Structures are given as structure tokens and as C-alpha cells.
Amino acid sequence: MQDYNEMLQFLDKDGKLSDDAPDIAHQFDTLLKLYKAMVTIRTFDHKAIALQRTGKMGTYPSILGSETVSVIAGAVLDKNDVFAPYYRDQGTQYLRGVTLTEMFQFWGGDERGNNFHNCKYDFPCSVPIASQALHAVGAAFALKHHGKNNCALVSLGDGATSQGDFYEAMNAAGALKLPVVFLICNNKFAISTPIEKQTFCKTLAQKSIAGGFDGLIVDGNDPIASYYVVKQAIEKAKKESIPVLIEAITYRLSDHTTADDALRYRTQEELDNAWLKDGVNRLKNYLIKNSIINQHDVENILSDAKTEVKEAVEKYLQIQLQDVEDLFDYHYANIPTILAEQKMELKNV
Amino acid sequence: MSSVTLIDAINLALQYEMEQDPNVVLIGEDIGLNGGVFRATQGLQEKFGENRVIDSPLAESMIAGMSIGMSTHGLKPIAEFQFMGFIYPAMNQIISHACRMRNRTRNRLTCPIVFRAPFGGFIHAPEHHSESTESLFAHIPGLRVVIPTSPERAYGLLLAAIREPDPVLFLEPKRIYRLHKQEIDNNGIALPLDTAFILREGSNITLISFGASIVETMQAAQELEQYNVSAEVIDIATIKPIDFETILSSVEKTGRCVIIHEAAKSCGVGAEIAATIAEKALTSLLAPIRRITGYDIIMPYYKMEKHNMVSTTKIVQAAKETMEY
Ligand SMILES: Cc1ncc(C[n+]2csc(CCOP(=O)(O)OP(=O)(O)O)c2C)c(N)n1
């Protein structure tokens, strides 16, 4: 029987590795790559908030506190799998090939940021909560229909698990036996609503019972356990052509977005305690402890990340605005007459 | 050639395109073994299997949302909503995603989906089964809304809708599903979308309609002959985007116009047509534009339903008043 209540953890918050840790705990090349990506995303995130504060970008939802599992999902997915993100998936998107410039552009209010050049079949971030879950189910259907041994992975927040679309997606994925991985990032909050007010369920993993498939809980700040669980889930989904749900426990270390002030609904003390469990620091300490990197490397990794982000910002800031025609030209493959007229009207204003 | 009803024609078009294009899949509630509640998909699961004619769980948002994912990834889903009154759970998916994906991704991901739904009143069904809320959809950028009114146009327009690279809401006037039979050639030839059809030429007045009301409109045109009024009848067919060229040139010719639809008057498709005629052909008008439509009320339960339906008498009356203005 599946245990829907137990959280899997191999590397605890104090850096202690359990004896039964899987192979990935010793695959240091992979872990180092993951660490670098996490640092890049954290640096990107920091910069995005700064750009928003100085009027150079729109409202932005920080991923601070969930980089670990987010980056790992991106690392484990196969290029030909399909990713259906929500808006707090910068880590996965980055490893899927969405460029930092594209991300700045998207959050900077430019649709062209969604025209991913490296992962052409991934969905853009979905804003209506949970609606993207059904897109993943549809994409998984198409993959299976075309005889591909790939899966779709949908990422959702904890609040999303209250939505009808989430249940409909789980139910359909189960009923149609589709390879869909539901990755729930339980960062404990939906804006100000804490998880205790979101559901009476003990865990979110147990919601998968309603869909008839397994639900796993993992410490989303533990890189070893997250890698292990996400990989297992993806392999199982593909091998057996069935859905799997993962509840990754994290904590939103940021405000909900740049338009939010989390101290209105949670204490500094709670936040300070959550920082002790941070996954990026946990991985850094683990790599140092195993002599894979030293303090000097840590600084170099950070400065490389800063360079990469800085270059992306420069590119982003140089992008010209779209023509007003672009506001009309992408509604239909062929522009209808009325729209063409309205387009001329705006052009002539 | 075979003599078929409107619903048969839909079945034929679905079948034709499924044979031609292996990426066409059907999804909807009870569409497989049961062939759909109106039998539009009768026999198709038997023929094409459960993987191409998918009996879905009972969840409209899921039907639309899954169709989006299917369509962005190489399939051409044709989704059936059992009745127009049950599309609303899927509105979010349709408005927020299906119609925006192309724009949002600057052509990278597109949603060639046909959303089919029977619409309109007078089949004596319970509440929610008689809706004509097409103008809600006609308001949405990125969507096409297409309505056939004969077996021939059902066949040709549905084929066109399936081949269209963007989402199409294909609304089927269920009152006339089995009203007439017509000889059609099952040759796979599509009719043009975004194009109005002149069903009857005339010189004194233009009657503009779509959906099941076309029946009363044609009858009215016939009746008007006895008053020496020559009425031109236009079936708009695609209510989003509307073919104003055809409408305007007819109104410029006749100078008079009555617009007829079953849906509520306020912000109905008729309002859009009247406004555009006023903008672009006001000086051709010899009389004010008239609208014969449903009232701005909730569709009554079926005992009183007829009061909210357009009738031939009302159309003839309005046309005569317009002529005498
Ligand atoms: C359908 C819908 N309702 C409301 C909102 C407004 N909204 C944006 S984010 C959010 C909270 C989502 O919380 P959760 O799913 O836990 O994800 P998180 O933001 O915590 O990562 C809400 C209510 C929305 N985007 N979509």
C-alpha cells in the first residue's frame, strides 16, 4: 500500500545524509550542475525583483524557496517530454531551455517571451490557477496517441489543488491511463491563504487517491530526495502509462509577488525558521562537506551566475517594443477584414 | 449523392475528415457507444476506435482543457458539448487559453480545435437546454463562431471548421437537426468560413439572420411576395468574424433591413450588425433598421418558450412596417 502521509527525505536540514540514500547522493557531477542552476535562478529572481522595483519589469512572482525541486524537475525531464508550468516555475523552465532573456521578456509584459526557441512544445506559464493541468493531460494523450514514450509534467501550487480543473485533470489522466506527472509545489501559501485553510486533507498527496493513482510526498528542499522521487515518478508514468502525483514540501520564502507584503499574514520568526531548511544552502553545504567545491568555488559560481543574468538583462532591455500591428496579427492565421480595419484605425491614430 | 438531414450531414463530415486525417479525434460525453445525445457521432467509435472517439468523464472544463493540450501537440480535437448551456464551466479554458495561445506564443503554439454544441430553443427540454448565448462567444478575440442552417452548409462548414488552424465554436441549431433532408455529395469539399450566404435574392429589403431562425426568415420572405415585396435573405453563417461586405452591399442595394435572431436583443449579434450598417451605410438607408429577436430574458421553461421565439408573423410585420416607413 502506498503511504500518503510520509515525507521522503534523505538529506536533512542540517546536512545529515541517511544511510539508505540513493545513488544520486554520490553523483556529484549532476549535483554540481543542479547547484549551479539553482544559483543562477536565485540570482535571476533577485534581479527580476530589482527590475520590478525600478519600473523595468512588471509584477513578478518570486520562486525563492522552491528553486530546488523546480530545477530538479527541469533536469530530470526528457527534452521530448512536455512541461506545463504555472507562473512559479522558473527553475524548470530554465533547464528546459527557456532563456533568462525570454523570462525577463515575459514578466516584462511582452508576449514574445513565450515564443520559446529551445523548447518549442512546452506551454507558457498559465495564470488561471490549475487550468494548465488539463493541458498536460491533453498533451499526454497526444504523445501516447503518436506512440511516443514520453510524459507530460504539470506543475501546480498547493492552492491549485482546490480547483475543479485539478480534479478533472487527475480523473481524466487516470481514466484514460495517461503518462502525466502532477508536481505540486506545496509552498504552504496561496497568496495569504495557508495550507490549513486550503484543505482539510492531511496531505495533498492523498488527493491522488481520488484519481486512482499513487501520490508521493517529498521534501522539496532536499535535492537528493527530490531528484530520486521526481525521477521515479517520471519513469513510472512513462513505463506504465499512468499518472503519478508528487507533493513537494517547500516554503515560499518570498512575498507572493512583488505586489504583496507577506508580513501582513505571517511572522518574521516563521520566515526565519523556514530559511533554515532552504534547499540551495543545503546542497551547497553538502557539496562543500564532500569536498566537491570550496568557499572560493561558491563565490565563482555566484559571480558566473551574476554575469549570465547581467547579460540577459542587457539583452532584455535592448529589445524594441512590438509594432502596434502585432496586437492584431496573432489572433488568427489569416486576419479577418474587421480586424484588419481596426488595425489600420489604430495605426493611423 | 445522398439525401440527409443536418445532423446526418455533421456525421458525414466528421467521418470524412477522420478518414482523411488520422490526427482528428473526437472527445465528449456519451459520444462513443451512445453516438452522442443527438447521435451526431453515431457509429464513429465503432469505426475509428476508442482512441479516436473518446468517451470523456463528465467535466466540460476538462474537455476544453484537454482539447487545448491535444491541439497544441499535433492532434485536431473536435470536442462536443452536450448542450450550449453546459459550455460555461469551460469558458475559462476557451477564453483564457484556446483563443489566446497563438497570440500569447506569437504563433508557436496554436489550437486548431472545433468545439461543437447544439444550441437554441423549442425542443421542449428542461432549463439550460435551450440557450442562445452565441454573442458571448462572438465577443471573444481569437475565436470563430460558425452556425450552419442546412445539411449542405453543415457538411461544408464543419469540414472548413476542422481544417481551420484556429479554434472554432460550431453551433448547431438543434431545432432543425432533422427538419429537412437535402441531397449532398460526400466529396469532402468545404465551404468558406467568414462568409455570409445569400439564400434568396431580392431588391426591396434585406432580411439578415442565422441559426434556426433562418426557417422563419425564409418563410417570411416567401410571404412578403404576396405584398409585392422582394426580400433578400442573408444567412450570416459565421457570426464571428462577420462578413460585412455581403451585408453592406445588400443593404446598399435594398435600403432596408430587418435583423432576426433568437438570442436576447441587448448586445446580441444584431446589435453589431445594426451598428456597422449605421457606421458604413447610413446614407443608403430608406428606413430605420429593425431587429426581431428574443427578449432580454432568461429562456422560459418550455411551456412559455414560444413567447420568446421569433415568428414568421413578427418578421413579416416588421418588414411591412419598414417598407411603409
Ligand atoms: C482561477 C484563478 N483564481 C484566482 C487567481 C488569483 N491568484 C493568483 S495566484 C493565487 C494563489 C495560488 O496559490 P498556489 O496555487 O498555492 O500557488 P503559489 O502562488 O503559492 O505558488 C491566486 C488566488 C488566479 N490566478 N486564477
Partner residues linked to B234 by β-bridges: B198, B208
Are residues B224 and B283 part of one domain?
yes
Contact with chain B for residue A117, Cβ under 8 A:
no
Instruction: Say which CATH number the domain at B317 has.
Output: 3.40.50.920
pLDDT, position B149 = 98
Domain-ending residue, one of B184, B211, B226 = B184
Q: Which of B103, B141, B164 has the CB atom closest to A111's CB atom? A: B103
Are residues B254 and B151 part of one domain?
no
Query: Which residues in chain B have Cβ-Cβ distances shorter than 8 Å to A121?
Result: 72-73, 109
Are residues B165 and B223 part of one domain?
no
Q: Is A125 in the pocket of ligand 1 (CB under 6 A)?
A: no
Q: Which of B69, B75, B165 has the CB atom closest to A134's CB atom? A: B69
Are residues B204 and B285 part of one domain?
yes
Q: What is the pLDDT along chain A (349 residues), one digit of tens a residue?
A: 367 789 999 999 999 999 999 999 999 999 999 999 999 999 999 999 999 999 999 999 999 999 999 999 999 999 999 999 999 999 999 999 999 999 999 999 999 999 999 999 999 999 899 999 999 999 999 999 999 999 999 999 999 998 999 999 999 999 999 999 999 999 999 999 899 989 999 999 999 999 999 999 999 999 999 999 999 999 999 999 999 999 999 999 999 999 999 998 999 999 999 999 999 999 999 999 999 999 999 999 999 999 999 999 999 999 999 888 888 899 899 999 988 998 998 888 8
Contact with chain B for residue A124, Cβ under 8 A:
yes
Which atom of ligand 1 lies nearest, measured to the CA of A61?
19
Q: Considering chain B, what is the average pLDDT of its residues?
A: 96
How does pLDDT run across B65-74, given as a tens digit for each residue?
999 999 999 9
Evaluate whether residue B192 is within a structural domain: no
Q: How far is the CA of A186 from the centre of ligand 1 (A)?
A: 12
What residue has cell string 460558425?
B146
Distance CA B99, CA B116 (A): 15
pLDDT, position A349 = 82
Are residues B42 and B136 part of one domain?
yes
Are residues B208 and B170 part of one domain?
no
Residue ranges making up the domain that contains B301: 197-323
> Is B193's pLDDT higher than 60?
yes
pLDDT, position A2 = 61
* Ligand 1 probe mutation, A88, A129, A258, most atoms within 8 A of CB: A129
Which atom of ligand 1 lies nearest, measured to the CA of A191?
11
Domain-ending residue, one of B184, B207, B227 = B184
- In degrees and rounded to multiples of 5, residue A49 shows phi and psi of -65, -40
Are residues B150 and B36 part of one domain?
yes
Evaluate whether residue B170 is within a structural domain: yes
Query: Which residues in chain A have Cβ-Cβ distances shorter than 8 Å to B76?
Result: none
Contact flag A165-B102 (C-beta cutoff 8 Å): no
Residue A333 CB coordination number (10 Å): 12
Are residues B253 and B158 part of one domain?
no
The residue-averaged pLDDT of B191-216 equals 98
Are residues B221 and B72 part of one domain?
no
Interface test with B, best of A135, A167, A341, A346 (most B CBs within 10 A): A135
Evaluate whether residue B243 is within a structural domain: yes
Are residues B65 and B12 part of one domain?
yes
Contact with chain B for residue A125, Cβ under 8 A:
no
Three-state helix/strand/coil letters over chain A: CCCCCCEECCECCCCCECCCCCHHHHCHHHHHHHHHHHHHHHHHHHHHHHHHHCCCCCCCCCCCCCHHHHHHHHHHCCCCCEEECCCCCHHHHHHHCCCHHHHHHHHCCCHHHHCCCCCCCCCCCCCCCCHHHHHHHHHHHHHHHCCCCCCEEEEEECHHHHCHHHHHHHHHHHHCCCCEEEEEEECCEECCEEHHHHCCCCCCHHHHHHHCCCEEEEECCCHHHHHHHHHHHHHHHHHHCCCEEEEEECCCCCCCCCCCCHHHCCCHHHHHHHHCCCHHHHHHHHHHHCCCCCHHHHHHHHHHHHHHHHHHHHHHHHCCCCCCCHHHHCCCCCCCHHHHHHHHHHHHC
Domain-ending residue, one of B162, B184, B206 = B184
Q: Which residues of A are catalytic?
A: 252, 256, 265
Query: What is the crossing angle of helices A279-289 and A223-240, to 10°?
Result: 110
Are residues B143 and B211 part of one domain?
no
Evaluate whether residue B135 is within a structural domain: yes
Evaluate whether residue B190 is within a structural domain: no
Instruction: Say which CATH number the domain at B91 has.
Output: 3.40.50.970
Are residues B222 and B163 part of one domain?
no
> Count of CB contacts below 8 A, A vs B?
141
Evaluate whether residue B191 is within a structural domain: no
As for how many domains chain B has, the answer is 2
pLDDT, position A261 = 92
Evaluate whether residue B189 is within a structural domain: no
Nearest to B50 by CA among B41, B39, B63, B38: B41
